[in-house]
Structures are given as C-alpha cells and as structure tokens.
Chain A
Amino acid sequence: MSQYGFYFDKEKCVGCRACEVACQVWNDAVQTVKWRNVSCLARGTYPELTGVNASLACMHCAESPCKKACPRTAISKNEDTGAVTVDQSRCVGCMLCLWACPFGAPQLGAKGRMEKCTFCEERPVGKIKRACEEICPQQAIVSGRIEDLILHSKQVAAERLSWDKRIEVILGHEEE
C-alpha cells in the first residue's frame, strides 16, 4: 500500500481560490459543499502586516482520526492510494469526524451526510494531477506519493540554500 498526499507551498499561494472552484467543477456530480477551502489571514496594523493564505483539503492522514472517530465505520482508506473517503450510505451526518479532524476537512453536505476530498478518485494517481493541482495558477499544490513529496520539499529547501547564504536561513530559523 502506498500513501498519497498533498504538498502545499504557502509562499506560492495568493489566496485566489481557483482550487476551491476547480474542485467544485470537477466533482460537480457528487459535491454539494466545498471540499477544499482557502483561509486568508492577516495580522498586524498598517503598514506592519503579515499574512498567509492556506489552501486546505483533506490530508488523507495515514492514521486518520476521522476514521477512528466515526461511530458508523463509514470512513475508509483506499488500499492503493491511501485516500480517505466517506461511504454516504453508512454516514449519519453526526459530524464527529469534523470534531476529530485536526484540519477541519470533512464538511456536512446539502444531503445531510459528510463529504470530503476524495483525492479525485476517478483520476488515476501517478498519471494525471488532481483537479485543484491541475488548475492552481501558481502550482502551490502538488500531489504525489508521500515519499516523493518529502523529497520534493527537501529539494525546494536545498534550492533556497543554493543562493541564500544568510546564516538564519542556513540554520533554519528565519524570521521575516
């Protein structure tokens, strides 16, 4: 069994929400509530401001709290991709999974059942991108096998070190 997941680059996300709509458009037939949500936060006072945009959907955790929390065992994990999905015919919409989820991913749909990112289950993994990843203008979302994503993030960090020789960057505690 392999585990797939999302890599998200906050430095690239501009909070445009194209991923939210891409998810809605591709999953039009089964989605009644946004599975992917962008949170835009800003702190400080003018002109000393910091802000961050974060596009969050289900992380498809290896040890999924939602799966363990479900009283109906409606949540299962795909053997091949590690994708965590909700069986609508078992779900009763009690929302315990949302209570358990560290990322606030499962949402109550219009039909009174929990819905969440299915990792675009129709799209074969490894062959094409997920809908949100395909559409993201900045390519801030990357999906793939967890091992590959970890490698990817290391490469991104290494690339930074290749040109930015400031001591705080090398030591890994840079404050902007």
Chain B
Amino acid sequence: MAEQTTRDVINEIRGTKTVPGVCMICPWHCPTENFVKNDRIEYVRGNEYAANKTTRCVKGISSIHSSRDADRLLYPMKRNSSGVHERISWDDALTQIAERLKKIKDEYGPESLCSLFHLDSNEMFTHQLLGHLYGSPNLSGHGAACDQDRRLAAIATFAHPLPVKDYANSRFVMLWGADPFGPNEALHENRELLEAMKKGCRLVVVDPNRSRTAEKAHIWLPIKPGTDGALALAIAYRIVETESYDKAFCDEWVHGLDEFSQHLLSNGYSPEWAAGITGISKETIIAVADEFASTKPALMDGLKGLVNYTTGLDALRTVFALNVITGNVDGPGNLILKEMSPLGFPLEIPEEAATIPKKPPIAHAMGYPMAPDLPTQLLPKAVLEGDPYPVKALFFHVCNPAMSDPNTRLFEKMMGAVELSVTVDIYMSETAQLSEFVLPEASTYERAEVRESMWAGPQTVMAQPAIAPLGESRPYYEIMKGLAEKMGYGEYFQWDSWEDWARTCTAYLPVSYEELKEKGVWEGELRYHKYNTDGVPTSTGKFEIYSTMFEELGYHPLPVFSEEHRVKPDADYPFQLVNCKMQYHCGTHTQNNPYLMAIAGENWVELNSKDARRLGIADGDMVEMASPHASARITARISEAVQPGVVRVPHGHGFGRRFGSIAKGKGTHVNPLFETRVNPISAGISFNECKVSIRKA
C-alpha cells in the first residue's frame, strides 16, 4: 500500500476530494490544493508538492470566500441608454462585441484595441485571439502600476525580465523598498529568508517607514523618501573606490565596469554626498557597503518603494549593478535568472492566419520605446486626444484601473469616450460599472489554468476546476472561445474540455500528463550559473552595467541620481504621501471578503505622533487630506512606524458605487489625489510623487 499523504488524511476526515489549484489573489500565484465535497470548497491550503508547501498567506486562505460569495457577477450584462446595466444572454453579448470589434478593426485598424489584465496565465487566450488573430499589439498586464522600473532595469542589466530570489542559500540580503513580510511576495521566499536568517544570514532593509520586513531586519535604514538611488550610488562608489568588487567575474561577465567606476567617481557620488540627501550617515553607508562587498553569497533587490518614485528606475539599475559587480548573479543565494518550463501555447495558429499590426505598440508611439508594459495612466489622455493613434476599444480582464490608477476622473472620462468597453471580472468592480459590457468570469475555484510558478527553478502549475461555475459565469478560455467563434476564428478554438488544450500546453514537459494532473505541479531542476553554459542574451553577451540598449535609444547608459521629476513637500503641502499595500488586503479585489474585512475593514492615513501632535490629530480622527488635485476624507492613525513628514495610505478601499455588500462605503479611495506622473524612461506610474496637506476634518 502506498504511504498515506497528508492530502489523504484530510480527505478521510472531511470526506472530500483534493483538486489542485492556484491562488489568484496576487501575481505570485502560489500553487494550492482545494478540498471539495458536494460542489462546495470545504478547505484550502498550499500545494504540498510546491515550494510554498502547505502554506497560504492570509489573503490566500481567506479567498475561499470567493467560491461562495453572493456578490459575484452571475450573468453577462450590458449598459443601456440610461446607463443602467441589464442582463443579456451570452450569445447576444458575444455577438455584439464581435460585430463591434470587426467594425473598429475595419475603421481604425487592430491597434485601436487595448486589452488590460492583471496577470493570469489564461491571458494566453487573449494573446492568441486579440493578439495573433485580431492583430492588436496593445495587450498588457498591470506592470506600469507595479514592477515596470524593476523589469526594465532587469532587462537592461541581465536581459531577463524577472529575476527571483534564492534567499535560502544567502548570507546577506538587502531589500530596497520591498516588504515581502508585509503584503507578501512568493510565500516560499518569506519562509526561506527567515530560515536563512536563523542560520546567520544578515538582512538590511531600506525603507522610510518601519515595514514588517524592516521589523525583522538586522539593519534598517530609514531613508528619506525617493532618495534610494543616491544611497545605491554611494554604496557602489565605496565598492569601486575600495576595489572590493569581484575582479575575475567583472573581467569575464560584466560590460562597462570602467565607465561605471569613472561615472561614479567623476560625479562625486560619495557616501558623504549621499548622507546629505538620504539622511543615512556616511559611516552607516560605508559599513553596509563593506559588509555587502565582503559577504558572499549576497543579494540585493528592490520593488515598489523604489518604482513608485520617478527616481526608481536608476535606483534599481544601480541595485542590479551592485549585484553584478560583486559577482552575485544567478548563483546559490543570489538573484536567480529564472528558467521557465517548456510550456507551449494552447492553440496552434498557422502563421498565415495571424494579423501583423501596422502600427507599433502604443507605449512606443507615446515615446517610451523601452516600456515593458502599457502605461495605463497615460492611456486616458491618449484616448481622449487620439494621440498617438486612436484607441476605440478597451478590454479589462480582472483589473480595475478605476480604483488602482491615479487620476480617477480622467479615467472615467475615457470610459465615456471609447466605442467599446468590455470588462471580464468575477465582481462588479468600479471599472466594470463604467464598461458597456460586463462578462462574468468563473473564479479560480471553477476553472483550469496551466502556468509557470514563481519558484526559482522551472515549475509548472496545473490548476483544475474544483466546482461548477457560479451562475452563468464562464472560465476565461470559454469566454474567448465563444468570442472567437463569433469573430470567425472558431476553427482554431477546437476543444471539448480544458484538458484538450492543457495537453497541448504541457506536451513538452518531461512528466506525464496524469502525474501533473494528480499533483498539480511539476518541478524541474534548479540550475545555477546558467550564463556559463547559455551565455547572457544582451547585445554584448555580458551583464551590462553600462546599458547598450539605453545608449542606442538615446538615454543615459549609466544610472544617475536626478530629482528633476520629483514632487517634494512644500509649505502648502508639507507631507510626502506614500501609497502602500495593506498586509491584509491585495489590490482592489479582497475588500468584499468578510475574513479580511474583520481584520482590517477600512484604510487609513498613518502619520507620525510628532506630526499628529502638531496638527492636533488623535488616533481615529477623521482628517481631510488634500493634494493639489483633489482632497479626501480619511481616518487617521497615529503610528511610530512612519517617518515624520511622511504619511502613508494603504490603497484599495473606498468602493463607492455598487461593488459588494461588504466592501461598499468602507474606507477611502485616495487615487484621485495622485497626478498623472510617470518615470520619464520606463513610463511606470510614480504613485508616491505626491504632496499633501492634512487637517482635522
């Protein structure tokens, strides 16, 4: 008899059946297991065969509610002439959308369709239908609001979009504006980092506020907001000055060390210089630089705390350059240039059937040729002015820019100006309410998915439908199939069940389909130092700290520190607004969850006790927060974790119109306060370039 797995034990206790799934709460998508009985999800946990083992984060475990939520979208809807959404049949909805798409393509070309999505592997079908077949180049994830700068910096340095972290083997970890212990990144990374710290790994955190990660850090550098670039350059200066970089590695694998060193020294990016800008003492900078250079293996990484400023791109380029010059690349305990599993597209589309767009992606046409994702916050202006080219159709799939992007009013205007707007979501989100067509999607518990996981090595996740879709909702691939049939592309979307295309996707995996289906994950070998065998796919064949790509396109090939585009507090607006994430919510789609709302039922503005005392604000007071663009009423919280002169607001709450019986009316939507400000090179949204004033309401 085979040994009883822990899955079997739970199934025995509860009379359930295990169906492997994937968590759809955040973009790290941890593999999961769903325990089902009588078409009801009884219990969920992490997939014991995956890196996260059986664990889930608080949002993940709470998401069991979305399999039962009575507020879910249950049938397709269309907005009538008086602006009210009415129920229509699937057939009508898809026929009308297909007709409209054809008309728009004929009149304006396929480029006038933009499809925006969160991050979902079923987007393969969007790419095949709206990309390959229809011909739009404007299919984009939510990167502009997220890791745009990091991705561009990584592409420039490593020619890899998403380096991941091998904390488990690291001896020194330095995180810049990243808070993995708070709002989570990949769960296994959290566990591995803490276990590494138990074994003596050092953790340095750069963050103006004391985040959950800063709480655990050996050294916390409470930096002035937006000045991370200066600190990173000063650390590089110290390493270059003392020549403590890895000479052998640099000679063989690094392009531009001499230019980089010359650039740092001649511009005087010294620790004394940085101390004045960052508020971190010269001695501390030198100590951290020396420790980083002398400890191996080490890794440095940054995320939203950097990319939310206009200085973030160059800060991240410097951070990655620091990894490179010390030889900390793709080895155990370093940033890993993740290898993907050999997954194929689900459908076979012959080359002659594809439409080649005549115009470039809209980001290129706007003047951001290197932008990895479409800068969604620049889209409203482009749509309203028809510049650089007309955009007439908008698709949104489980993303909610009406809540997540800055300058909400302009977004609403854009939604009134387009000829076709379609939102596919599981909830009636604020964006869905502004769309003409709203299509109900099946939740992650009701659909299949084949995807790459966020583990450092190649790993495939195969999620399977555990229960029947609620109401008339359909899995995304079925929606795309229906739309394709109406658009006349039905011949490519031939399958009876999801298993047909899942077999096509996974045909090249060195594992049997049955085993993958049973376990839900397949894990390949985690290879280190892949550049030794595979090379580096940059144009120089080396890791580029002097970026030839930037140079070719007319940008500065080396990272600089420039506060030219910053918005800094002044006498009228004395606070820097920092837009953060809440540990207990993710984005804008967990606010209808009773478990999470019981923990944190609203958002708030956090300010330091010194500032609060000066303004006469007590904990729990309602305050009026105003930027030059708009103002909002929000609850104040007094916190010692926040830097004086900085206020912090977790975003995502404040649904005002129709979303959710639990979410509606709780908290404050602060995005109207932000102006449309982007990084001048990557076009990533600079949420934190925002100054505000606060007074008691």
Contact = CB atoms under 8 A, between A and B. Distances in A.
Interface of A: 11-12, 14-18, 20-22, 24-26, 42, 44-47, 49, 51, 122-124, 127-129, 134-139, 156, 159-160, 163-164
B200 A14 contact: no
Given A18-B58, A18-B61, A47-B222, A137 B200 contact: no
A138 B191 contact: yes
Contact of B595 (A21, A127, A128): A21
The 9 A-B residue pairs with the shortest CB-CB distance in the complex, in nearest-first order: A14-B181, A163-B200, A18-B58, A47-B222, A137-B55, A128-B6, A134-B54, A137-B187, A128-B9
Given A46-B222, A46-B608, A14 B641 contact: no
B172 interface: no
Contacts of A47: 210, 220, 222, 643
Contact of A17 (B46, B58, B609, B641): B58
B199 interface: yes
A164 B643 CA distance: 32
Interface in B181-236: 181-182, 184, 187, 190-191, 194, 197-200, 210, 212, 215-216, 220, 222
B173 to A, nearest CB: 15
Listed residue (A11, A135, A139) with the most chain B CB atoms within 10 angstroms of its CB: A135
B643 A46 contact: yes
Contacts of A122: 13-14
Contacts of B584: 16-17
B45 interface: yes
Given A12-B194, A16-B583, 11 more contacts: A11-B197, A11-B198, A21-B61, A26-B43, A46-B210, A46-B608, A47-B210, A51-B215, A127-B4, A135-B54, A137-B184
A138 to B, nearest CB: 5
A139 B57 CA distance: 11
Contacts, number: 119
Interface string B429-454: 00000000000000000000000000
Interface string B632-666: 00000000111110000000000000000000000
17 contacts: A16-B58, A17-B58, A18-B55, A20-B599, A21-B596, A21-B599, A25-B43, A46-B608, A46-B641, A46-B643, A49-B210, A49-B640, A129-B6, A135-B45, A135-B55, A137-B184, A159-B198
B641 A129 contact: no
B243 to A, nearest CB: 29
Nearest to A133: B54
Contacts of A128: 6, 9-10
Contact of A25 (B10, B61, B644): B61
A47 B6 CA distance: 45
B43 A14 contact: no
Contacts of A24: 595
Nearest to A43: B640
Contact of A137 (B44, B190, B643): B190
B244 interface: no
Given A18-B57, A49-B640, A128-B6, A139 B191 contact: yes
A127 B184 CA distance: 29
A45 B640 contact: yes
A138 B184 CA distance: 11
Contacts of A124: 9, 13
A118 B609 CA distance: 41
A159 B201 CA distance: 13
Nearest to A48: B640
B62 interface: yes
A122 B641 CA distance: 41
B9 A127 contact: yes
A47 B210 CA distance: 8
A108 to B, nearest CB: 16
B207 to A, nearest CB: 11
B55 A44 contact: no
Interface string B583-627: 110000000000110010000000011100000000000000000
B212 A15 contact: yes
Listed residue (A14, A15, A45, A138) with the most chain B CB atoms within 10 angstroms of its CB: A14
Contacts of A46: 210, 222, 608, 610, 640-644
Contacts of B642: 46
B254 interface: no
A22 B56 contact: yes
B57 A137 contact: yes
B64 interface: yes
Contacts of A21: 58, 61-62, 595-596, 599
